[in-house]
């Protein structure tokens, strides 16, 4: 896999990632990490957590990866990959997976997850590990993407009957532990750049859904 490490891109094997993970108390994977700000802040505050940001767009992760190198953070990995291409053999590595404000094919997989995707996420988590998804798209504010992806208007009903039902279809191990809804202002607490951007934008409702891997 490709690891965006500061200004360089180097190859890292699954074995290397597992060995590194074993040196930390826990592992947090942020899928669709974007520019990586969330992972940077998380790593800065939690030196005993290995923070792994994953995104298919390599160039996006460069800025915060450079910041991590400058701060000499040894608990960060920025990997070039996607929800579709997650390596199957990273099994049981993650205590937590976050998917914050997914878009494009990542959002499509959250709304209509394939069996393969759900199984990969389930497998990536340790027993007791959490998958946290923050949804905040708006059909009204993003009409062209909504049309392209065929997005339903975001609501509690969609979270329950589409997202949760979609995951439940393919996994008995992932159980919903929390559903929350809040207004966009609270997004700034999350700390990712998209969350901050949307917090200052037009009104939209945000939904948080948490799953726990129960066995």
Ligand X SMILES: C[S@@+](CC[C@H](N)C(=O)[O-])C[C@H]1O[C@@H](n2cnc3c(N)ncnc32)[C@H](O)[C@@H]1O
Binding residues (CB under 6 A) for ligand X: these are 31-34, 55-57, 60, 82-84, 100-106, 192-195
Burial of residue 142 (number of CB atoms within 10 Å: 0-12, 13-18, 19+): middle
Taking the CA of residue 54 as centre, how many other CA atoms within 13 Å lie in the half-sphere pointing to its CB? 22
State the minimum distance, in angstroms, from the CB of residue 23 to ligand X: 26
Closest to ligand X by CB, 24 vs 103, is 103
Closest to ligand X by CB, 17 vs 106, is 106
Closest to ligand X by CB, 32 vs 166, is 32
Tokens of 39: 């992972």
State the minimum distance, in angstroms, from the CB of residue 204 to ligand X: 13
Task: Note whether 124 and 91 are within 8 A (CB).
Answer: yes
State the minimum distance, in angstroms, from the CB of residue 171 to ligand X: 19
Burial of residue 111 (number of CB atoms within 10 Å: 0-12, 13-18, 19+): buried
- Return the residue nearest ligand X (CB atom): 34
Closest to ligand X by CB, 60 vs 171, is 60
**Cα-to-chain-centroid distance, residue 31:** 3
State the minimum distance, in angstroms, from the CB of residue 215 to ligand X: 26
Burial of residue 10 (number of CB atoms within 10 Å: 0-12, 13-18, 19+): exposed
State the minimum distance, in angstroms, from the CB of residue 85 to ligand X: 8
Closest to ligand X by CB, 113 vs 129, is 113
Cα–Cα distances (Å) from 147 to 99, 105, 150, 203, 205, in that order, read: 22, 14, 5, 20, 19
Per the document, the length of the chain is: 215
State the minimum distance, in angstroms, from the CB of residue 119 to ligand X: 16
Closest to ligand X by CB, 31 vs 49, is 31
How many whole angstroms separate alpha carbon 33 and alpha carbon 39? Answer: 7
């Amino acid at each position: 896999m490709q690891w965006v490490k500061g200004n360089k891109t180097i190859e890292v094997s699954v074995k290397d990632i597992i060995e590194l993970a074993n040196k930390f108390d826990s592992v947090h994977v942020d899928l669709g990490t974007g520019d990586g700000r969330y992972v940077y802040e998380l790593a800065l505050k939690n030196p005993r957590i290995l923070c792994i940001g994953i995104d298919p767009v390599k160039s996006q992760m460069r800025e915060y990866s450079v910041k991590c190198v400058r701060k000499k953070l040894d608990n960060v990995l920025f990997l070039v990959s996607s929800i579709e291409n997650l390596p199957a053999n990273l099994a049981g590595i993650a205590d937590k997976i976050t998917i914050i404000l997914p878009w494009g094919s990542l959002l499509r997989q959250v709304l209509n997850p394939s069996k393969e995707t759900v199984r990969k996420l389930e497998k990536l988590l340790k027993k007791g590990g959490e998958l946290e998804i923050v949804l905040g798209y708006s059909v009204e504010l993003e009409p062209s993407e909504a049309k392209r992806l065929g997005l339903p208007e975001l609501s509690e009903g969609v979270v329950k009957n589409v997202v949760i039902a979609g995951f439940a279809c393919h996994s008995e191990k992932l159980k919903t532990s929390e559903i929350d809804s809040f207004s966009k202002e609270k997004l700034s607490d999350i700390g990712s750049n998209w969350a901050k951007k949307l917090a200052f934008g037009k009104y939209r409702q945000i939904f948080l859904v948490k799953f726990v891997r129960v066995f």
